[in-house]
Amino acid sequence: MTAMPATKKPRVIGIVGLSILGGILNLLAGIGLLSLISSATQDPTVQIPAWVTIVTYLILALGVIDLVVGVLLLMYKRLGLILAAISFGVGLLLGIYNIISAGNSVSQDVSLVIQLAVLYYVYIYLTREPEKSFFT
């Protein structure tokens, strides 16, 4: 009888690194937007729409979720994959909306590449064997 070789756990360092990088970039963008909103509201003649503040807090929340996703994926938790799909999917939609409404920039291009890469990894880890069997 021959023994079947043990299947190795998938390497998650790539998706973890991209999740942490995405979280840091989202937090920096959110903090920058909050400081711009704060300085703009110092002038009583300037009116900031409420949706700008809501989107800013959404970006900050996505940054925190991305950092939590990185930790959960290091522990091979399926919840990390689900949160990553939601967080990076919403981030991708926000990025596409920004490009359509405000024009393109290098930072938005980098953000879209990171989000697409993470979503690709999530798809592989959720659907393919043996990778999906390691996430509990």
| Structure confidence at residue 72 (pLDDT) | 93
> Tokens at residue 4, please?
């079947």
Question: 20-56: buried (b, 16+ CB within 10 Å) or exposed (e) per residue?
Answer: bbbbebbbebbeebeeeeeeeeeeeeeeeeeeeeebb
| Structure confidence at residue 104 (pLDDT) | 80
State mean pLDDT over 43-71. Answer: 91
CA 51 to chain CA mean position, Å: 21
| Structure confidence at residue 2 (pLDDT) | 61
pLDDT digits (tens, 9 = 90+) for 1-49: 566 566 777 788 888 998 998 899 899 999 999 999 999 888 888 888 8
| Structure confidence at residue 5 (pLDDT) | 64
| Structure confidence at residue 1 (pLDDT) | 52
The model carries a pTM of 0.85
pLDDT digits (tens, 9 = 90+) for 97-117: 888 888 888 878 888 888 898
| Structure confidence at residue 106 (pLDDT) | 85
State mean pLDDT over 57-82. Answer: 93
| Structure confidence at residue 102 (pLDDT) | 83
pLDDT digits (tens, 9 = 90+) for 76-92: 899 999 999 999 999 99
